[in-house]
Structure formats: C-alpha cells, structure tokens
Structure 1
Amino acid sequence: MNAPRRLRLSRSRRGSRGFSLLELLVAFAIMAISLGVLYRAMGSSVRNVGDLDLRQQATSVAESALDRVSGVPPAGLALSGGVGGMDWSIQTRPFEAGSSDPAAPKLHEVQVVVSWSERGEPKQLVLQTLRPERGPRQPGG
C-alpha cells in the first residue's frame, strides 16, 4: 500500500517543476502584442505633440501677418511672405454690411492663409476677420 502513495507524490512533483514550452510561447506572444500596442500609442502621442507645435507656430505666423493690417486701403491689399518654412498670404475684399448709413465705416474682409508641409503632406491654416477701410491720407496729417 505504500507504493501507490509514492507514485502519487512523484507525479505531483513532476507536474510542479515549471512552465511548459507552450506556456512560455503564449506568455511571450502576449507580452510582444502588449509592447507593440504600447509603443504605437507612445509614438502616436509624440507625433500629435509635434503636429500641435506646428499648428501653434502657424497660428502665430497668421496672427503676426494679421497685425500688419490695421486698415485697408480702398483698392484692397495683397501681401505674401514666408517665415520658418511657412508661407503666408493676405488677401482682402470689400465686405457688404448691408447698412445704408453713409456714416458707417466701409469694411474689408481680410483673409490670412498660412501654408506648410507636415510629414510630406500640405497643410493650411486660414484666419478671417474684418478691418476698416482707411481713407486717403490728409496733407499735413
């Protein structure tokens, strides 16, 4: 009767020795998939931060270009330039306010377009606002 007990003990010892090759392969596969997902998420976050930085730079360029236009001459404006790898342009056109009041200032719609390339793909930022028409300068003024 003692012999069967020994057999049982030896079987339980053999089963608790370690992991099988299949279990190790499954564990490595799960770890590899998890790391791949984690690296992809981190890479995407870093890329998004870079994209956001470029968009902030484009906004600064557009606002700086817009600050050049305090009033629009009656003939309108067409300006362009570039800074830091970004091209900007300003176009104006008369704005119809629908007011028949002759004392109301004439307005022009001002559009600033900033263009740049992001990872080989063209991008644009457009800002629009209204500016008053400036009259001809008075002599001595």
Structure 2
Amino acid sequence: MNAERGFTLLETLVAFAILSLSLGIILQIFSLSAQTSRSVEIQQRALAIAQSQIDQELAQLQLNEGEDRGRVDERFSWSSEIRRYQFPDQEGRINDQIQAYRITVSVRWDDSSEQALSLSTIRLQRQ
C-alpha cells in the first residue's frame, strides 16, 4: 500500500492566514519606520535652521532687543526674539557694565503651530 499524504485544505488555509498576518505586521513596521525616519529628518533640518539663526545673532557685536522673522523655503519659517534677561536671583543688570540677553529662535514647518521647535540661549554683553 503506497499512501501518499499531502496537506489538507485546512492546513493550507491556516498557513495562508499566518502568512497574511505576518506580512501585514511586517508592512506596518516598514511603514512606521519610514514615517519615523521622515519625521526625524524634518526635525533635524528645523534644528539646524534654529541653530544657524542663533549663531547669526551671537555673531553680532551688539545685541538689540527686538524680533525678526523669515522663511528658509516653502516648508520652514522661523522667528527670533531678543529680550533683556534677568536672572532669578539678580535685580536688573549683573553689574553696571554687563547686561544679559535671552535669544529665542522658533522654527515651524508645514505652516502648523503643532509642528515647532524652539531653542534659547543667554548672552552676556558689555554695555
């Protein structure tokens, strides 16, 4: 008696179901990975723009209080603000010759208030 045994229809259906679920999960992982990678790339670009704007402000010999705005391309817009800064334990100037200024740069992308990044620094300046 030569009995050859193959897969039953039920075994084949279970194998296809497992394969389908596995492929669906793998595709979701790849999709999430691509979205995360794109999001990180955008945030790194925004960080580079903010750092560049702060560097430009720090390169000035004299800081003046005020605000400025601009666009880098269609996607990114930035705003900067320079204000006198008072340390929590100090009143007014540090001394008669030195004043602290806080520089804040915010970068937004996709014209959204939810998609934003801000950097701040403090610079001491002789008066």
Letter in 1 for 2:49: V
Output the CA distance in 1 between the equivalents of 2:116 and 2:126. Answer: 29
Closer, same or farther in 2 for the Cα pair 1:83/1:96, shift >3 Å?
Answer: same
Q: Which consecutive residues of structure 2, in runs of 5 or more, have no partner in the other structure?
A: none
| Deviation readout 1:79-114 (Å, 9 max, x if unpaired) | 110102200000122111216752451011111000
The counterpart of 1:55, out of the listed 43, 52, 58, is: 43
CA root-mean-square deviation: 2.3
Q: Is the alpha carbon distance of 1:55 and 1:91 closer, same or farther for their aligned partners in structure 2, counting shifts above 3 Å?
A: same
SS of the equivalent of 1:18 reads coil
Closer/same/farther in 2, CA of residues 124 and 134 from structure 1, 3 Å limit = farther
With the length of structure 1 as denominator, give the TM-score of the two structures: 0.75
Give me the TM-score of the superposition, normalised by structure 2: 0.83
The number of residues matched between the two structures is 120
| Distance of 2:8 and 2:85 partners within structure 1 | 78
Matching of residue 18 in structure 1 with residue 24 in structure 2: no
Distance 1:94 1:53 in 2: 33
Matches within 5 A, 1:1-141: 9=1, 13=3, 16-70=4-58, 71-73=62-64, 76-84=65-73, 85-97=75-87, 98=90, 101-103=94-96, 105-117=98-110, 122-133=114-125, 135=127
Secondary structure in structure 2 of the residue aligned to 1:68: helix
Higher Rg: 1
Q: Which consecutive unaligned segments of at least 5 residues does structure 1 have?
A: 1-8, 136-141
> Which contiguous aligned blocks of 4+ residues in structure 1 show a shift greater than 4 angstroms?
none
State the SS of the aligned residue for 2:115.
strand
Whole-angstrom CA distance in 2 between matches of 1:114 and 1:29: 47
Query: Deviation per CA, 1:51-75, whole angstroms, max 9, x where unpaired?
Result: 11101100110011111212422xx
